[in-house]
Chains A and B, each alone.
Chain A
Amino acid sequence: MEKVIELLSLNKSFNGEKVIENLNYTFFSNEIVVLLGYSGVGKSTLLRILSGLDHQYQGEVKYASDINVSKSIIPIVFQSFDQLLPWYTVKKNILLPYKKENDKLKIFNEIIDILDLGNALHKYPKELSGGMKQRTAIARALLAKSKVILFDEPFSSLDITMRQSLQNLVLKIQRKYNQTIIFVTHDIEEAIFLGDRLLIMADSKTRHDITLNSENKERYTNPFDQQVRKVIKIIEGSTQ
């Protein structure tokens, strides 16, 4: 497996308070890594660093040689429904970052089909449901054809049915495009369902790396399982 992003002794502070301390971690190609933990533990901060939105950190973030963080797009799908520009249609929102790239049309049509956005292309964001807005944001991110896509709690404001349908969609697109997905959530079930690996962030220093496979995934989804209880305990510990 190819290393896509490598974090070496990463440290991040806000107003003198350490949020991430000495994080060493490697994200590999073609995997879904879920960053799991309660709010304020530094998950979104880490995502902002990975996307190149936050440069104020100590340590090193090494990208694969074909990713130039200042030129390449490392797309994020945010939690907020406001991540689409309200003055443009769905189609324009998706294509706007790539207007100088003429070769996107084929993949655009393919992505629109996968995400079932065909009927919404000429609608404005105010006319869309929350789920459709997030689909549009995913389409925009997918079109970058980046090695990595970042998801910052994208489904936490959706109802359970919509959330499950979009979780399946994430798995589907990851299998199709073989991208590395780094997915932030505080929902344990979502994390276990999606993740190949979990990086549980309990506090700025305490982290647990769990590799999931079909066997332990089943076990982890059982709320009475000892291991699950342990994970819950770790995360709940972070709020105390």
Chain B
Amino acid sequence: MRETLNKNYRKIFIIILIIFLWEGIYNLNIYPQTLFPSLTEIIYEIVKGFRDFSIILSIQYSLTLLFKGIVLTFLLAFISVLLSEVSIIFNDFLEMLISIAHPLPGIAIIPLVILWIGIGEKAILFIIIHAMLWPVIINLKSGIQSIPKIYMDLSEVFNFSRVDKIKHIYFMGILPHIFSGLKIAWARGWRALISSEMVFGVVGSSSGLGWYIFKQRVFMNTPGLYGGLVIIIILGLLVEGILFKKLENIYIGKWS
């Protein structure tokens, strides 16, 4: 408890230090003010973005898209892992596909995606799913491999049905890996989303945080650009540090 408290104080101290450092550099006029705005200007731009709803709409668009991507990724991952458990040939195929596709950065396939899918929401979804799917599959597969053999023996001895085996042994056994997969998916998907939004820009009448930042640069609104970055950092911290931790505590904290 004391250790956590001290750590939190240290974190607050570091944040205050960064703020002072930032303002110090700004006031020394080392860099042009168009490149290095003051914190007040950045905060003003963030508040302005919230007031005219532009930031809120961008956050909503980006998070909705990422949520769709995560759901589809896990759906595809579960189906693939299930099929690879029942078919050796599919398993070999999947392993080969992973070794080919996993090292390929999402941004590298953008030209190909434009040719095949165009520049709409589907294209962004394709890129973020590509970024998330392979590590999630690897994670789920290693989760299944880590389930002790004795649980399989137990399910045989106590005549578990196939559904019970999936529900009580496989699903519960890989739950910690689902959470770590979710964290990886979030981290990779979030990055891929922001970068592909910058490339694809406005889709219909909506656009995400990536485009928000890009737009600020085009209009040379550097404080707004920094503001967008701050929002991305805060969202990342909120999801990883609070939401995922809370969910983990609820579902696996009691027993793991």
- Interface residues in A138-175 (C-beta closer than 8 Å to B): 140, 144
What residues of chain A lie closer than 8 Å to B151, measured between beta carbons? 85
Q: Is the CB of B156 within 8 A of A52?
A: yes
Return the chain A residue nearest B176 by Cβ: A87
Q: For the complex, what is the distance from the CA of A75 to the CA of B158, rounded to whole Å?
A: 7
- Interface residues in A15-61 (C-beta closer than 8 Å to B): 51-53
Return the chain A residue nearest B251 by Cβ: A87
Q: Is the CB of A85 within 8 A of B150?
A: no
Judge whether A198 is part of the interface by a CB distance below 8 angstroms.
no
Interface band, chain B: 10 to 19
Contact with B along A54-81 (1 / 0, CB 8 A): 0000000000000000010111101010
- Given A52-B156, A74-B157, A75-B157: A82 in contact with B150 (beta carbons within 8 A): yes
- Interface residues in B209-256 (C-beta closer than 8 Å to A): 252, 254-256
Shortest beta-carbon distance, A70 to chain B, in Å?
Answer: 8
What residues of chain B lie closer than 8 Å to A108, measured between beta carbons? none
- Given A73-B159, A125-B255: A96 in contact with B168 (beta carbons within 8 A): yes
What residues of chain B lie closer than 8 Å to A76, measured between beta carbons? 153, 157
Q: Is the CB of A51 within 8 A of B157?
A: yes
Q: For the complex, what is the distance from the CA of A203 to the CA of B138, rounded to whole Å?
A: 44
- Given A87-B175, A124-B255, A126-B255: A53 in contact with B159 (beta carbons within 8 A): no
Q: Is the CB of B153 within 8 A of A53?
A: yes
Shortest beta-carbon distance, B176 to chain A, in Å?
Answer: 9
Return the chain A residue nearest B171 by Cβ: A87
Q: Is the CB of A52 within 8 A of B168?
A: no
Shortest beta-carbon distance, B209 to chain A, in Å?
Answer: 37
Contact with B along A79-105 (1 / 0, CB 8 A): 010110111100000001100000000
What residues of chain B lie closer than 8 Å to A86, measured between beta carbons? 255-256
Return the chain A residue nearest B169 by Cβ: A85
Return the chain B residue nearest A97 by Cβ: B158
Q: For the complex, what is the distance from the CA of A82 to the CA of B151, rounded to whole Å?
A: 8
> Among the listed B158, B168, B255, which residue makes an inter-chain contact with A73, where contact means beta carbons less than 8 Å apart?
B158
What residues of chain B lie closer than 8 Å to A78, measured between beta carbons? 150, 153
What residues of chain B lie closer than 8 Å to A83, measured between beta carbons? 150, 154
Shortest beta-carbon distance, B179 to chain A, in Å?
Answer: 13
Shortest beta-carbon distance, A236 to chain B, in Å?
Answer: 30
Judge whether B199 is part of the interface by a CB distance below 8 angstroms.
no
Return the chain A residue nearest B158 by Cβ: A97
Q: Which of A88, A96, A144 has the most CB of B within 10 A?
A: A96
Judge whether B172 is part of the interface by a CB distance below 8 angstroms.
yes
Judge whether B31 is part of the interface by a CB distance below 8 angstroms.
no
- Given A80-B150, A85-B151, A87-B175: A53 in contact with B157 (beta carbons within 8 A): yes
Contact with A along B138-176 (1 / 0, CB 8 A): 000000000010110110111110000000110011010
Q: Is the CB of A85 within 8 A of B157?
A: no
Q: Is the CB of A52 within 8 A of B157?
A: yes
Q: For the complex, what is the distance from the CA of A125 to the CA of B151, rounded to whole Å?
A: 14
Q: For the complex, what is the distance from the CA of A71 to the CA of B158, rounded to whole Å?
A: 9
- Interface residues in A176-212 (C-beta closer than 8 Å to B): none
Contact with B along A113-125 (1 / 0, CB 8 A): 0000000000011
Shortest beta-carbon distance, A199 to chain B, in Å?
Answer: 21
Chain A interfacial positions (CB closer than 8 Å to B):
51-53, 71, 73-76, 78, 80, 82-83, 85-88, 96-97, 124-126, 140, 144
9 sampled A-B residue pairs with Cβ under 8 A: A52-B156, A53-B153, A73-B159, A76-B153, A78-B153, A83-B150, A87-B175, A97-B158, A126-B255
Chain B interfacial positions (CB closer than 8 Å to A):
148, 150-151, 153-154, 156-160, 168-169, 172-173, 175, 252, 254-256
